[in-house]
Structure 1
Amino acid sequence: MSLFNRKKPAKGESILSADDGESGSPRRGKSNPLVELGQQPNTPPAVFGKADAKFGEIYGSAKVEAARWFIGAMLALLLAIVAVSSVAMILPLKEVRPWVVEINPATGIVNRPVQVERIDPNLSVVKAELARWVEAVYTIDPLRSSELLRWANSRSADKAVGQFTEFRGRERIFERIRNEPEMVREVKVTAVDATQRGTAFIFLTVTERVGSQVPSADKIKRYRVTLNYRLTPATQEAELLANPLGILVTFFSDAEERAL
Structure 2
Amino acid sequence: MEILKGTAAWLKLRAGRRFAGRTVGFVPTMGALHQGHLSLLRRAKAENAIAVASVFVNPTQFNDPKDLQRYPRTLGADAKMLREAGTDFLLLPSAKDMYPDGYRYRLGETTESRLLCGACRPGHFEGVLTVVLKLLNLVRADRAYFGEKDYQQYRLISGMAEAFFLRTEIVPCPTLREPDGLAMSSRNRLLEPRERALAPALNRVLSSKAGPARIKKELAALGFKPDYVEERWGRRFAAAKLGKVRLIDNVEI
Answer yes or no: same fold by TM over 0.5: no
What is the TM-score with the length of structure 1 in the denominator? 0.19
Select the structure of larger CA radius of gyration.
1
TM-score normalised by structure 2 residue count: 0.19
Which structure carries more relative contact order (alpha carbon 8 Å, separation 6+)? 2
